[in-house]
Amino acid sequence: MAGTGGVALLQDPRPDDVRRALQRVTLRWRQLPVDRADALSATVRTFAARCAELDPADIPELGPATAVDQLSVAVFDACASGRSAHLSERLGELLAQLA
C-alpha cells in the first residue's frame, strides 16, 4: 500500500539575478575576518529586515555566524511575496559595503 505523505518540493521564487547576487554576498561574508563580520552583522540584519519589511529589532542578534543565513531567508521571503524588484542591485550595494 503506497503512502500519500510525500514531500512537497518548493519552487525557488528568487530570480536568477537575485540568486547570483545573494551567492556573491554569501561568499564574501564567509571570507570576512570574524571581527569585520561582527562589526558588519548589524548592517546585514538591517538589510534583511528591509527585505522582509520588518523593523530591524525583529531580526534577532544571533551573531555574525548567522547573519547571512538570516539575510538568505529574508531574500527568499521577499521574492516569494513578489518584492524582488531592485533586490539584486541592493544586494550589490551590500556587497560593496562588505568589501
| 50-81: pLDDT as tens digits | 998 999 899 999 999 999 999 999 999 999 99
Work out the mean pLDDT of the chain and round it to a whole number.
91
Residue 12 has pLDDT above 50, yes or no: yes
Q: Is the pLDDT of residue 34 over 90?
A: yes
pTM of this prediction?
0.86
Grid cell at residue 76? 527568499
77 Cβ contact list (under 8 Å, min separation 6) = 51, 52
Residue extents of the structural domains in the chain: 16-98
SS3 per residue for 34-85: HHHHHHHHHHHHHHHHHHHCCCHHHCCCCCHHHHHHHHHHHHHHHHHCCCCC
**pLDDT at residue 10 in the model:** 77
Nearest C-alpha neighbor of 83 from the set 45, 40, 48, 59: 48
Query: Which pLDDT value is given to residue 6?
Result: 67
Q: What is the C-alpha to C-alpha distance for residues 39 and 54, in angstroms, rounded to an integer?
A: 21
